Amino acid sequence: MFRRALWLASLLACATLAQAQNSRHFTFRYEFSVKSPDPGKPLRIWFPMAHSDEWQDVRVVSATGDLPLTKAREQKYGNWVYFASTNKADKPEYRFSVVYDVVRRERIGLTDAERAASEEKSSPGSTSGAMLREASLRDPKLAPYLNADKLVPTTGLPAEIAAKQVEGRSGDLQKTRALYDYVLATMRYDKTGTGWGRGDTLWACDSKRGNCTDFHSLFMSMARSQGIPARFEMGFSIPVGKTEGEITGYHCWSDFYLAGKGWIPVDISEAWKNKDKAEYFFGAHDDNRVAFSMGRDLVLNPPQAGDPRNYFVYPYVEDDAKQYENVSTHFSFVEVGQSGAKASGR
């Protein structure tokens, strides 16, 4: 009877998650121009390519540019990259445009009961849970999500803060909830001045403000310092309550790895901006987004001459093997079925 009760509870939990998953269908335009490159010099251009995964179905409707486009994958995280180049720049401007048809699904990683359990000071059965976690961490695929990145340290101040926050929490679910709550309560979404937007954990520790990169870098540093894998994903938010329009900038979010369940989504900066959804964003990503790339410190394909990319969502351009920044971007979306938008990209 006990096993049957557990089985029924599991089925009910799965059904609840399935019912909760909403979706959005839209076209997304990723457009940019490289203005006035030095004539006669080599020009190389990289930009991320959205791709299908468990949470989004992506189809490239059209991909055009003033230089031929090739596709490749970088090695560390498997991100898809568009690449274009010429040995001698001979145009005052190079334009590129990719139109995607996207179906994005809401991602629910925790049940209400699991969220409630995350707030407990101790975790029943933590010994067996620790054994399961130890076995999971031997998976080499998790290594990149435990190591430090250039701006995401796993020692020093963020590790000290994390150790203090997880006191009395014996399970990884409870520990990550404590870290989530700390970032939410301590950080302020504030893009004034300079320093924000680099995803610099130590800067975030000192300033206690920033944008989504700063919120989630602090979370990742603390989680990794506790031996909990955490990863970083870049993309764009799709405005809520609108059916079309421009998108002014990127958005990023995070996941942590929970042994026995896999990757669990969090979005702390969205929780800060929507306080009534703070509980929801511990364990969920809504469907108002599209993902483009994963990870930090990226070596592109083919490799760039410059340093590894801190993150990768905007075009990266090199002119004669040096970074070239005279690049203008434009991103927009149209809900499918609105204003004549079709999957054909009109």
How does pLDDT run across 233-279, given as a tens digit for each residue? 999 999 999 999 999 999 999 999 999 999 999 999 999 999 999 99
* 96 three-state secondary structure: strand
Residues ≥6 apart with Cβ < 8 Å to 51: 58, 80
Query: Which of 6-15, 47-56, 147-156, 208-217 is the least confident region?
Result: 6-15
Instruction: Tell me the CA distances in angstroms from 39 to 42, 91, 327, one per residue in order.
Output: 9, 7, 16
What pLDDT, on a 0 to 100 scale, did the predictor assign at position 130? 66
Q: Which residue has the higher pLDDT, 33 or 121?
A: 33
Q: Give the residues across from 23 on adjacent strands.
A: 105
What is the rounded CA–CA span in Å between residue 80 and residue 301? 9
What is the rounded CA–CA span in Å between residue 237 and residue 134? 35
Residues of the chain with CATH 3.10.620.30: 109-234+250-285
How do residues 162-202 score in pLDDT, each as one tens digit? Answer: 999 999 998 999 999 999 999 999 999 999 999 999 999 99
Residues ≥6 apart with Cβ < 8 Å to 265: 107, 109, 253, 254, 255, 283, 284, 285
What is the rounded CA–CA span in Å between residue 281 and residue 267? 5
Q: Which two tokens stand for residue 240?
A: 């809520």
What is the rounded CA–CA span in Å between residue 89 and residue 87? 7
What pLDDT, on a 0 to 100 scale, did the predictor assign at position 254? 98
What pLDDT, on a 0 to 100 scale, did the predictor assign at position 291? 98
Q: Would the pLDDT of 127 be above 70?
A: no
What pLDDT, on a 0 to 100 scale, did the predictor assign at position 135? 66
Contact status, residue 237 vs residue 287, Cβ threshold 8 Å: no
Contact status, residue 229 vs residue 209, Cβ threshold 8 Å: no
Residues ≥6 apart with Cβ < 8 Å to 249: 236
DSSP 47-69: EE----BTTEEEEEEEEEESS--
Report the C-alpha dihedral over residues 34, 328, 97, 304, rounded to 10 degrees. 50
Helix (H) or strand (E) holding 213: helix 212-225
The fold adopted by the segment(s) 109-234+250-285 is C8orf32 fold (3.10.620)
Highest mean pLDDT among 1-5, 100-104, 336-340: 100-104
> What's the pTM?
0.89
Distance linking the first and last C-alpha atoms of the chain: 57
Q: Which two tokens stand for residue 126?
A: 């933590």
The pLDDT confidence band at residue 322, using thresholds 50, 70 and 90, is: very high
The gap from C-alpha 274 to its chain's centroid, in whole angstroms, comes to 18
Architecture of the domain spanning 23-104+294-335: Sandwich (2.60)
Residues of the chain with CATH 2.60.40.2250: 23-104+294-335
What pLDDT, on a 0 to 100 scale, did the predictor assign at position 297? 98
Q: Would the pLDDT of 299 be above 80?
A: yes
What pLDDT, on a 0 to 100 scale, did the predictor assign at position 324? 97
Q: Which residue has the higher pLDDT, 126 or 107?
A: 107
Tell me the backbone φ, ψ of residue 336, rounded to 5 degrees: -65, 135
What pLDDT, on a 0 to 100 scale, did the predictor assign at position 138? 77
The pLDDT confidence band at residue 17, using thresholds 50, 70 and 90, is: very low
Average per-residue pLDDT in the chain?
Answer: 90
Q: Which amino acid is present at 150? A: K
Kindly provide the residue ranges of all beta strands, DSSP E only, lying in 183-326, ordered along the sequence. 188-189, 209-210, 230-237, 244-247, 251-258, 262-266, 284-285, 289-294, 316-319, 322-323
The pLDDT confidence band at residue 122, using thresholds 50, 70 and 90, is: low
What is the rounded CA–CA span in Å between residue 149 and residue 137? 18
